[in-house]
């Protein structure tokens, strides 16, 4: 099936000229045309030609580079608390009661919310990952999945988690004709001792699978790392060899200039969560300084238990706003850079930049359309500025993944919204003693 | 006409118990019932009973306490520039070419956007205010209006602006059966010399009209004030007597502890713009310290030329997020406080708290309904948290002002959306030389 969208505002996210009036063509799962509206004989080769009449923009789907989808069941369950208290006293006890039922219900709810708000690919770190993989395949979504492993408990438990993580990563890599990729994810340096981290690193190198972990979210966590290991987390991980294979770190809020140098030197990918970091009072990551050193940070929502939604456009806007305010410099993180963080840099963070993240011939057809007809979108001076600073998820219309339409005029075609919302409430209720 | 909404989630914004399941009744322009679902004989007295089936929340409309509606024509016209450059090199030259046509087109666009996103009352500071007043009356909106006066130019021009400001404030006060209130608004201490400010203060006292001005938006502006007058702006205004009549200041980003003490002592109202202050790189107002001193800051969008939308729910969320991040304290500005800033404290800032800002018997029927049925709103643990941290303007359904429905299922009933959007583009195009 070949489809051509004409008279569209195209935001390609390619390095040069990311924004023009033109057309996008797809052939099956792949983009086969990006450019000005083609002559009729080219159009004739397509099975379907859709005229957007310049009322919609086409842009790459958002790439959410970190979250815990099942935790959407805990959206708003505990707000306005410090991270450690929130995590240890509120989240972990109730998550300990999660069964496959809750993981499925929470993940479906998250996938539904993400699809409807224009996210086409997400990273998920949780457990019972076979369930997550099934939900992703059914929904027609793209994801990078990893079994998160907290290194507490008996040696037997630790061993089982490691084996489970490796087995999952190998079994599911490439599933859904490549829609699923995998990583290995020890939870963090504060929940995994050096020996346990090393075992993950060895497996990552042996099986050529990228590594992912939480790092330096709070100043307390950094101080604790210094106390226990005599080093700040970045140097600690570097010395253990964590950055030798391809790796992605979540947060990187409290990193100093020397640490940024190390992260840049090892080409460590960064996943930045402006919303969650603000809400938990964790602080504000030094994104401006990272970019000066050549790092291209990606964006994520983290879970809806700390965010409290999975709206990537909101993260793009926050990334464009907060660093300007903190540095009192309106030229930090331009609108175009922020949108790249939410798309192209996200693809890079998941090591999928050959497949997704921009609208280029040969890449997978993961893209969204946004309506430009709301009062808040007039007049049109600068399209990317309009999307980043003025639009909202209200404007997300259609979503395509691997060439297949999964959302049409805001309605999800692959999931039963009413049933999933109902199940989410039931699954939470079932946790009550 | 008496209408009763039953089986609703009510967010009254009253000091105690701001959130419960129940009903809201209106009689003409006024709220006549707020409480649990009443017995049938009470219901029978209403002409219409609307069953929301607990699928919607009812809350007070948002109150936007500062903006320049006509400037929506310049949305995205100049982004990512420092305030003075943005203002002096970009905004003022093009605004100088605005005629009545642009003011009407821009104001209509803004009023449309505000109504559709749940704002029921806004403050507008601009010129050609008769045009703004007409648009407000036609749209069925509520507003506090003031002719902003920049004190540059000849004595004749300055005198004319002052007279125009006073005449407008007196002529329009109470128009639309009280939907319009007025203020006197010298632009700022850096554009109005002390003598000119004093003339406004005298008129405010003489006619019992509140004062409004921009103050301490950037550190540069504060330094300039110290250089010219030997005082920081708060002390400067206080010594001039600006805080003697009821007064509202816009921004207050760069105010130190002594200045906060003065503002609290004189009960000066504060209008805070997290989005615009971040985007222009102006800084982050010390809202936490203000609240410790008993100040109840309100929220505004400022104009869409610096924001770039008029979405008050976004400002509520930003207010709840950024101060937590900056202070690394998740307990600063709770969700409930942020929502009060966008509603009740807004009414206080415009000296309209007797009429609007909360759902209380006897107040004017200015309220909105929000859908609770989107995937991002499940499960429901805490309603206010859900609205503040997870909802979006996509969820705004119906809007009532003075008991009259102005938005129904997201569609504006009082304004022609397609025509207004088209006119906005035309009006901007007409400015080109």
Token digits for B208? Answer: 């019992």
CATH code assigned to B62-349 = 3.20.20.140
The pLDDT mean for chain A works out to 96
Contact check, Cβ <8 Å, B335/A378: no
pLDDT in the model for residue A16: 72
Residue B336 sits at the chain A interface (C-beta within 8 Å): no
Is B430 in contact with B102 (CB distance < 8 Å)? yes
Rounded to 5 degrees, what angle do the CA atoms A291, A319, A301 make?
110
Distance CA A253, CA A286 (A): 7
The ipTM estimated for the assembled molecules is 0.96
**Taking CA atoms, what residue in B is nearest to A415?**
B375
Please give the C-alpha separations between residue A111 and each of A1, A420, B32, in angstroms, as whole numbers: 26, 10, 43
Question: Which of A55, A330, A418, A431 has the most B C-beta neighbours within 10 Å, making it the best mutation to test the interface with B?
Answer: A330
Q: Is the peptide bond before A379 cis (omega within 30 degrees of 0)?
A: yes
Please give the C-alpha separations between residue B311 and each of A113, A148, A159, B63, B273, in angstroms, as whole numbers: 21, 37, 50, 11, 11
One-character DSSP codes across A172-212: HTTHHHHTEEE-BEE--TTTS-HHHHHHHHHHHHHHT--EE
Please give the C-alpha separations between residue B61 and each of A272, B123, B299, B385, in angstroms, as whole numbers: 33, 14, 13, 17
With the C-alpha atoms ordered B423, B426, B432, B433, is the resulting torsion angle positive or negative? Answer: negative
Distance CA B178, CA A179 (A): 59
Q: Which of A247, A309, A242 is nearest to A273 (CA)?
A: A309
Q: Which of residues 135-174 of A touch B (CB under 8 A)?
A: none
Residue with tokens 């919302």: A421
| Tens digit of each residue's pLDDT (9 = 90 or more) over B212-244 | 999 999 999 999 999 999 999 999 999 999 999
Strand A180-182 and strand A142-149: the pairing is parallel
Distance CA A218, CA A188 (A): 12
pLDDT in the model for residue B113: 98
Token digits for A289? Answer: 């300084």
Contact check, Cβ <8 Å, B335/A82: no
CATH pick for A2-60+358-410 out of 2.60.120.1140, 3.10.129.10, 3.30.1490.20, 2.30.40.10? 2.30.40.10
Residue B30 sits at the chain A interface (C-beta within 8 Å): no
Is B23 in contact with B35 (CB distance < 8 Å)? yes
Q: How many residues does chain B have?
A: 433
pTM: predicted TM-score of the whole model, two decimal places? 0.97
Is B276 in contact with B253 (CB distance < 8 Å)? no
Q: Which overall architecture, per CATH, does domain B2-61+358-412 show?
A: Roll (2.30)
Q: How confident is the model at residue B251 (pLDDT cuts 50, 70, 90)?
A: very high
Q: What percent of chain A has pLDDT over 90?
A: 94
pLDDT in the model for residue B84: 83
Give B124's strand partners: B145
Q: What percent of chain A has pLDDT over 70?
A: 100
Taking 80 as the threshold, does the pLDDT of residue B15 lie above it?
no
With the C-alpha atoms ordered B185, B189, B193, B199, is the resulting torsion angle positive or negative? Answer: positive
Size of interface A-B (CB pairs under 8 A): 213
Q: Which of A384, A380, A338 is nearest to B75 (CA)?
A: A380
Domain edges within chain B: 2-61+358-412, 62-349
Contact check, Cβ <8 Å, B279/A330: yes
Helix (H), strand (E) at residue B339: helix B335-342
Taking 90 as the threshold, does the pLDDT of residue A18 lie above it?
no
Token digits for B297? Answer: 């800051």
Taking 80 as the threshold, does the pLDDT of residue B29 lie above it?
yes
Taking 80 as the threshold, does the pLDDT of residue B17 lie above it?
no
pLDDT in the model for residue B404: 98
pLDDT in the model for residue B79: 87
Three-state SS string across B93-108, please?
HHHCCCCHHHHHHHHH
| Tens digit of each residue's pLDDT (9 = 90 or more) over A183-219 | 999 999 999 999 999 999 999 999 999 999 999 999 9
Q: A381: how many CB neighbours lie within 10 A of its CB? A: 17
Taking 80 as the threshold, does the pLDDT of residue A15 lie above it?
no
Using a CB-CB distance cutoff of 8 angstroms, which residues of chain A are in contact with residue B324? Answer: 80, 278-281
Q: Which of A282, A283, A309 is nearest to A83 (CA)?
A: A282
Residue A283 sits at the chain B interface (C-beta within 8 Å): yes
Contact check, Cβ <8 Å, B380/A76: yes
Query: Which ranges of B343-394 would DSSP assign to H, the alpha helix?
Result: 344-349, 383-385
pLDDT in the model for residue B394: 95
Q: Dihedrals φ, ψ of B300, to 5°?
A: -145, 170
| Tens digit of each residue's pLDDT (9 = 90 or more) over B237-250 | 999 999 999 999 99
Taking 90 as the threshold, does the pLDDT of residue A321 lie above it?
yes
Distance CA B386, CA B335 (A): 9
Residue with tokens 């806007």: A317
Q: Dihedrals φ, ψ of B224, to 5°?
A: -65, -40
Q: Which of residues 371-430 of A touch B (CB under 8 A)?
A: 373-376, 378-382, 385-386, 389-390, 392-394, 417, 420-421, 424-425, 428
């Amino acid at each position: 099936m070949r489809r051509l969208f004409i008279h569209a505002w195209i935001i390609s996210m390619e390095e040069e000229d990311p924004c023009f009036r033109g057309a996008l063509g797809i052939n099956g799962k792949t983009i086969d045309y990006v450019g000005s509206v083609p002559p009729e004989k080219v159009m004739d080769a397509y099975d379907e030609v859709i005229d957007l009449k310049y009322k919609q923009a086409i842009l790459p789907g958002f790439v959410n580079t970190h979250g815990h989808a099942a935790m959407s069941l805990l959206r708003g369950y505990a707000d306005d608390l410090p991270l450690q208290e929130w995590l240890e006293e509120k989240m972990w006890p109730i998550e300990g009661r999660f069964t496959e039922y809750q993981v499925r219900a929470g993940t479906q709810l998250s996938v539904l919310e993400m699809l409807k708000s224009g996210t086409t690919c997400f990273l998920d770190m949780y457990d019972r990952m076979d369930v997550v993989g099934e939900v992703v395949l059914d929904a027609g979504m793209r994801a990078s999945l990893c079994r998160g492993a907290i290194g507490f408990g008996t040696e037997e438990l630790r061993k089982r988690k490691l084996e489970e993580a490796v087995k999952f990563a190998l079994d599911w890599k490439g599933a859904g004709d490549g829609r699923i990729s995998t990583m290995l994810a020890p939870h963090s340096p504060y929940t995994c001792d050096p020996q346990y981290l090393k075992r993950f690193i060895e497996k990552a190198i042996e099986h050529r699978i990228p590594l992912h972990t939480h790092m330096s979210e709070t100043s307390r966590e950094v101080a604790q790392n210094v106390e226990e290991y005599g080093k700040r987390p970045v140097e600690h991980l570097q010395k253990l060899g964590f950055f030798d294979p391809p790796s992605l770190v979540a947060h990187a809020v409290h990193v100093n200039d020397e640490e940024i140098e190390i992260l840049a030197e090892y080409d460590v990918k960064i996943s930045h969560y402006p919303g969650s970091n603000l809400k938990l009072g964790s602080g504000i990551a030094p994104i401006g300084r990272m970019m000066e050193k050549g790092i291209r940070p990606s964006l994520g929502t983290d879970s809806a238990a700390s965010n409290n939604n999975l709206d990537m456009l909101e993260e793009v806007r926050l990334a464009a706003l907060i660093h300007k305010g903190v540095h009192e410099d309106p030229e930090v993180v331009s609108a175009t850079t922020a949108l790249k963080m939410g798309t192209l840099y996200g693809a890079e963070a998941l090591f999928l930049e050959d497949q997704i993240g921009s609208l280029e011939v040969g890449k997978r057809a993961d893209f969204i359309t946004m309506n430009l007809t709301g009062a808040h979108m007039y007049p049109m001076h600068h399209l990317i500025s309009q999307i980043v600073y003025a639009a909202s998820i209200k404007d997300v219309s259609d979503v395509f993944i691997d060439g297949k339409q999964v959302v049409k005029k805001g309605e999800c075609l692959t999931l039963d919204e009413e049933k999933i919302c109902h199940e989410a409430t039931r699954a939470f209720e079932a946790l009550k003693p």
